[in-house]
Structure 1
Amino acid sequence: MSRLRIKDNTFVSIEHPGILKSVENGCATLGGLSTIQQATERAAKNPKNAVLELRMRPNDNYEHPVQARLRPKNNILVRVHKQNGKAQCLGRIKWGFNFRNIADFQYNTSKSEFLSRVDSTLRTLDYETVPKFYISLQPAMRESLDVPPPPVFSQTVIPHHYNYLQNPHVGRISLPDGKSRLVNLRGAARIWTIMIGMDAERVPTERHAEVKKEPNAIVQDVLKELAPLFEKRPMWTRRGILENISAASHSNLKYALPYVSYLWASGPFRDAFTRFGYDPRKDSVSAKYQTLFFKFKVNEEHTGSGSYIFDGTTLYPKTRIYQICDITDPLVKSLLQDAPLHSTCHPTEGWYKSGRLNKVRDVMREKLRALTDGRCLSEEALSVVLAAPERDESEHNSPSEEEGNSTSSFNASSGFANVQTDARVNELMRNLMKQSEEHESFEDIEDYDEFEDVFGD
């Protein structure tokens, strides 16, 4: 038995996934000899920064390449002569480039006029040619927009190991007619919450027809806690309800609310759960149930669940919506006590006129910002807000330029929407409810999501 001496040379191997009939063409798919040399040198010196890409169309600048993975090896490079069969050990292979990733989807850009202009001008890096690049401003059909492809189509680079088995969350059920079908056994439970907008002719007086007549025992326990709350007052925010029921009922609250209340999708009572049959648009007493929304970035140091009460001194990170009746801050309460009201409920302003309501929002916003930043609110900043004129949007349909400038900051900061915008919101919410009804339980066969039996189980 003959022995071969292994030389001290070290090599980097490249496993090309294609059938190489030409070494020159194979090197071209890897970027050329210079690119291969740079990758192998980096593999020997700094393996983490070694990069090698495979492009089956080297001349296509927009092809999505396959990334190689550098892996440690412990192989020997042997040269065997065909004529005499002599073998020679050239050295050790310590690193190797492997192409194990899935190839990305490809997009043919040969017919793209825009990318042709990019290649003929910008990519030349020629001083005289680059200024010739232009972007066409002519309108184009949406179906034939000439836009460049994204750098990556799919983020999945490793094939899933599923062994040709059915999804474990999919099962077979029997239908009343004797047939069977595959369904999703882990689908989200359905919650049939009735949502309406300010343009609704009447409010719901009973629960959705799809809500089951008799709730299960867990939901019944939650309903026992909700009953006194809606007797105390007819409208609540979700945060207000959570703060007044036991912690054990929090996870099942969404299943119980459709039995006793409906939800306002937009308008001055937005996101307020309302007792069936109660219409806050009929009586000005309901003005105190209007909701106020605020968006602000909370400091990471602030923690806690949050309260539905606004006292002006405590920040609750999870609270973004307040009902007027839950405001205890003395300054804000004084502004609301003598606030002018509409004779009828306005579709966007509610019962309160927008001038005073916007001022209330601005005061609360300044206080929330100060609490978020961990600072004391200056009297100067507060006095500027209080001294600002109150302008009612519903009474000034055509404001002058001066008036518009004086109130634009309040409109922008408070997010106050006009009637047309609110009508659009109502329409969008109705369409949303038709397309994605929230759902309840899985006791009915129709509540399952159906799957195609591709495996013939």
Structure 2
Amino acid sequence: MGGQKALDRAFGEGGRILELKLQPDNPFAHPITGDVVATNKLLVKVVTRRKKRILGQEAGPSIAPATTDGSSVDKGKGKEVEAGTQSAGTYTTEILGIIPKTIRFRSMADFQYQPDESDYVVQMRRAMDRLDIDAVQSFDFKPLEEPYGEPRPSQTPAPTDPDSMDVDIDPSPDGETTSAPKSRLNLLPPPLFSRQSIAQHYNLKQNPMSVIHSSVDPITGEETQRYIHKHRLKGSMAPAAISWESETVPTEPPKHILDAKGEAKPHLLAKLQELFRQRPAWSRIALANQFPALEGRELNNMKVHIALVSYTFNDGAWRDTLVRLGYDPRKDPQARFYQRVYFRNAANEEARRKSIVERRPGRENSTEAEPPAGDRESHIFDGRTLRTGAASFQLCDITDSLLVPLINDERSVRKEPDIADGWYTSHEFALIKAVVRRKHFNLLQGKVISDKDCADLFVPGGLTASNSAARNGMPHVGKKFPRKAKGNRRPVAPERLMAAELEIALRKERETTGSREMQRAGDSEAEDSAAMDEDED
């Protein structure tokens, strides 16, 4: 270990490692490294008094068994000790000091390779240890000669002494001779072969959710067994899914979902049923925001709850929305409010990095507490607040003053739904998406735009220019292209902008007028019902 100086240096001068060299004179032998660690231990000296023995007995064997009368024979000296005269012994302890540091040798020994001592490079290495200046000055690399390998000399292993620890190991299996040539590259071993100093405990444990599943080949009749997940064995817990071309919608869950109904919690199932009675279609994030954090986690872990009350579309205008069992949005024009608009922003690296860091375990700000109340409205788009998560909103959750008249405009409703635009005309739905896109991606840049900034979208040809800008990397792409985005926006004539602003104002006025008429109609119905009650009285 280098003697007392190396120990003093490791303990007193802030050393962190100490090398244990099993072959100190061999520079090619890799040592075992010990780590200097801080400890809080005490060095205790323990002294015990010798036990009393009966003298005068002859020496016996070094180790003797116990006698039949209950006495025993002392080890080594062969003196018999009577069971009744043996004392319990007296122990004395004394604390000599504290142990603030300890060297732990827990690493494995590295692989060892001994090069040929007759090699001129090895001889140069030895000369450097001896500080032989003449050998260093006269050293010169010899040119390599092909071939780079030479045959190994045949060696007959000498008989070994069975009592000796030096055993010749034949590297070839089953004692066969090897024809591998000997290298002539004069390569020295590296200072370290393996970087893994401590063995890793694998501790393989089978997944507790995996069970052994047996299956029989219908052709050969051979039975095979394999591990399979419990949920896969009994079927997926995802809601039933249909395509747009399906003529009917599911009215009840699949059989394997009904079989797992006993696992569902009644209070969660009742709350889900009530929510779907109030609103027949939900986005996943909107539905999750209706539950506290603990119940939302239970819904996510036990997916059977949602599968018992809803189904999904694989494609179409209501794709990836949760729809109440038995309700067909393709037959109800009011289902247009449950259509979804969503966007991708792959270049928003800052938001993505932030979300990854916040989800990273072990952080101080990562708690299991209930999220703030603001996160409960992450599914709502008002045009002024940047929501966390993906840009996915249902039309009924959009409260922006410019978008609400567009969404409620009954003149843009189709007679039959379309797979891409739902109940809206292609122009109207594209206009809604364009306004949401512009406002949302400006919020990502920290800007809140007014309704006038979207007036160019209402101009004939404005949607085409907006879609072209979106494909070419416009304001929503990120902070890298703000000038390019501003410069590529098509200039619009002032008279067209005025006409577009007038159209926006008219749409808002119609929306306000319609709301007032509905309110007056409701008030008149209430007055009529009150008058009827008075007549009956």
Question: TM-score normalized by structure 2?
Answer: 0.43
Question: TM-score normalized by structure 1?
Answer: 0.49
